Structure 1
Amino acid sequence: SAPSPAPAQKPAVMPAARAEATRAGVDAGAVEGTGRGGRVLKEDVQKAAAQPAAAKAPSAPAPAPASAPAPSKPVGERERRVKMRPLRKTIAARLVEAQQTAAILTTFNEVDMSAVMQARSALKQDFVDAHGVKLGFMSFFLKAAVSALKAFPSVNAEISGDEIIYKQYYNIGVAVGGGKGLVVPVVRDADTLGFAAIEQEIGRLAVLARDNKLTLAHLSDGSFTISNGGIYGSMLSTPILNSPQTGILGLHNIVERPVAIDGKVEIRPIMYLALSYDHRLVDGREAVQFLVHIKQAIEDPRRLLFEI
């Protein structure tokens, strides 16, 4: 039989035309070329792309419709706006003022709480029977802070213009959680108070804070502040100064840790201490010695009794 005729060769597609076809989604093989020998030029592809979709590459079949997802539960409002309370506005302004005006630095130390915890455990019921209030950790730290402030007066001072005001009274602010957030009522003339009087005053101020009955008089005229983040589980923090005060002592949670005692490893209840201070007035040496003074008083509470 006679041989079948050879298949007709498709006209060549120029590289620029092939690239243009890819970009425009046109089947280059279906485009009629106007170039020499029927070559498909870039202009041919552009012309085909501008015409109805007869020459365009067939689109891919649409995927099978997926099952519609189950309607999600309404989540309610995504945002809630409330007016800032005057107390919160005042606190915010004071914190920003402290950050912008003071050269705040923080130094740390750790304290072995064994002696204080043993004293509390041995005398807690006798203390309640005698004074009607529990013996807490705060009274020990407040007494230790007063002793340290007497030894390092610059931590109990403030800067006023180009003058330094050294305060010869010891009004210690104690940060407590109140109904409207964290507040710092002041234990006034703490150097004149014993352990029982300090615990009673802290308890009284805490009740006022809880019931939102603190007044400006309860919050003003503090010379130093103690903040106890440990009751919320804080391990370590850098407290912000309560302007215009020069120092603030941060207490943290008590955790049993292995420590070296006389060449042996023992498990002791350890608390981290943090002192934030205004470096414009308090040198680093004084800050470190201030914390060491508190550490020594807490680790040997007899120092508080004998005022050494």
Structure 2
Amino acid sequence: MSEIKVPDLGESISEGTIYKWLVKEGDTVGQGDVLAELETDKVNLEISAEEDGVISSILRQAGENVAVGEAIGVIGSGAAAGSSKPQATNAAAESAADAAAGSATAAPAAESVSAAAPAAAPEGPGAGDSPAPLASPGARKLARERGIELGEVSARDPIGRIGQADVKEHGAAGPGAAAPAPSTPQGKAAGALPAAGKAQQPEDGKAVERKRMSRRRLTIASRLVEAQQTAAMLTTFNEVDMTAILDIRKRRKDAFKEKHEVGLGFMSFFTKAVVGALKTYPLLNAEIDGEDLLIKKFYDIGIAVAAKEGLVVPVVRDADRLSFPQIERQIGELASKARNNTLSLSELQGGTFTITNGGVFGSLLSTPILNTPQVGILGMHKIQLRPIALDEERTVNRPMMYIALSYDHRIVDGSEAVSFLVKVKELLEDPEALLLEG
């Protein structure tokens, strides 16, 4: 028998949320099989079985927060392991489990326990004790913390098992009050992830949808608020004439893709321009550590990617040493991993500066928020034809892009921030200079 424990989640991450279980009690598993998916602040991780056996018990349910090293389930050895369900505490259930333990497979044993539990009148371990209600471990813990007697809580589950939601509703209704009946004919399944719920709740006669925020969305929210509260954040703007870059892409994109097997996009140009500007204005590549400045001599550029679960910022390491094809390839691979939710924690940590591209969604102008502890972030926007005056008599239409630099005014002065953005503009409008910048 072995415990299913929450693995080490990486630097600065001490807990996660069980996103979903991929197995149920009584299932036979092999070493290496994926048992559950865990959601952390940054990525989703899979928890695998460390040995062959049968899932004898699931201790923590989907939607519950768990700490690193905490046991969330138990794998038993042999077919009989499936009969040891901890919730079956009454005598009738234990008898049914004992009878089923000798069967050829664990699944019938588990079904016998579940079927016997609601049918028989529960009895405590001693004569004369009050009945012990069926409840999930999470519900029992929550009830203890809130001082609620489980016997007073009404369950929505069809088999009478009390879940965390039942305890919360009972507590909200006041001591001694019964939980309200479900608003739909079907009860809420125990262990279902609240974030996936679609329950409609009337409010002042109008329907609303209550949906639980994912751990990543909660983290994004807190980090963005923290950035605005702790940094003296300002934004400066400029615009770039994209004519030269568009011309290069038009002339070179086919040969570039044939040779390097990757498309020539805009991000490699912007990454190179940012690195060149950071070398000229190094305070934009620094961070504050107490009363000290950490001015970094390396250039790990974060690229913001909009994934299904929320914004993530994977990092292109040592961007100053990479060629255009290498940058494009790395960005493509990281973006694909972000959208498939397969990024590792190491790919999200340690960036020195961030680039975000709202232009892909049609944004014409925005003020990006710092990705703390970084002190600078560059915002790209939509390319749009606009009339540009060449001189007093001539006006032409040019493909223009607004760019925005948000910076921490605590260590970056306005003149330096403006000069940084002008440098980025100059490098983009003269792409050959990117090669000279190295």
Same fold (TM > 0.5): yes
Distance 2:221 2:299 in 1: 25
Encode CA deviations 1:279-301: one digit per residue, 9 max, x unaligned: 00000000110010000001000
| Alignment gaps of 5+ in structure 1 | 1-75
Could you say which residue in structure 1 is the equivalent of 2:275?
A: 146
Which of 229, 243, 263 is the aligned partner of 1:100?
A: 229
Find out whether 1:291 has 2:291 as its counterpart. no
1:159-308 → structure 2 map (5 Å cutoff): 159-263=288-392, 264-307=394-437
Number of aligned positions between the proteins: 233
Encode CA deviations 1:186-225: one digit per residue, 9 max, x unaligned: 1111011010000000000011011011222111101000
Distance 1:190 1:307 in 2: 13
State the one-letter code of the partner of 2:420. Answer: F
SS at match of 2:257: helix
SS at match of 2:374: coil
Distance 1:208 1:80 in 2: 31
State the one-letter code of the partner of 1:289. Answer: S
SS at match of 2:360: helix
Distance 2:254 2:231 in 1: 44
State the one-letter code of the partner of 1:111. Answer: V
Cα offset, 1:89, TM superposition: 1.8
Structure 1 runs (4+) deviating above 6 angstroms are none
Distance 1:252 1:175 in 2: 13
Distance 1:253 1:246 in 2: 24
Distance 1:295 1:262 in 2: 20
State the one-letter code of the partner of 2:261. Answer: G
SS at match of 2:383: strand
Distance 2:349 2:362 in 1: 28
Could you say which residue in structure 1 is the equivalent of 2:12?
A: none
What is the Cα-based RMSD across aligned positions, in Å? 1.2
SS at match of 2:227: helix
SS at match of 1:79: strand
Distance 1:268 1:125 in 2: 24
Find out whether 1:123 has 2:252 as its counterpart. yes
Distance 1:100 1:215 in 2: 29
| Alignment gaps of 5+ in structure 2 | 1-199, 202-206
State the one-letter code of the partner of 2:218. Answer: K
Cα offset, 1:85, TM superposition: 1.5
Distance 1:178 1:217 in 2: 18
Cα offset, 1:304, TM superposition: 0.3
Please give the TM-score of this superposition, normalised by the length of structure 1.
Answer: 0.74
Cα offset, 1:243, TM superposition: 0.4
State the one-letter code of the partner of 1:270. Answer: M
State the one-letter code of the partner of 1:173. Answer: G
Taking a change above 3 Å as real, the CA distance of residues 79 and 216 of structure 1, as seen in their structure-2 partners, is farther
Distance 1:168 1:84 in 2: 38
Encode CA deviations 1:142-187: one digit per residue, 9 max, x unaligned: 0000000010000000011100000111111101121212211111
Distance 1:290 1:202 in 2: 23
Structure with bigger gyration radius: 1
Encode CA deviations 1:214-269: one digit per residue, 9 max, x unaligned: 22211110100001000000000000000000000000000000001244101000
Higher RCO (C-alpha 8 Å, min separation 6):
1
State the one-letter code of the partner of 1:136. Answer: G
Distance 1:220 1:92 in 2: 18
Q: After the TM superposition, which of the residue ranges 207-216 and 291-300 deviates more from structure 2?
A: 207-216
State the one-letter code of the partner of 1:182. Answer: L
Cα offset, 1:83, TM superposition: 2.4
Cα offset, 1:137, TM superposition: 0.5
Encode CA deviations 1:20-61: one digit per residue, 9 max, x unaligned: xxxxxxxxxxxxxxxxxxxxxxxxxxxxxxxxxxxxxxxxxx
SS at match of 2:381: strand
Could you say which residue in structure 1 is the equivalent of 2:138?
A: none
Structure 1 or 2: more helix by fraction: 1
Taking a change above 3 Å as real, the CA distance of residues 144 and 299 of structure 1, as seen in their structure-2 partners, is same
State the one-letter code of the partner of 1:275. Answer: L
Which of 214, 218, 221 is the aligned partner of 1:85?
A: 214
Distance 1:125 1:269 in 2: 21
Which of 239, 242, 263 is the aligned partner of 1:110?
A: 239
State the one-letter code of the partner of 2:426. Answer: Q
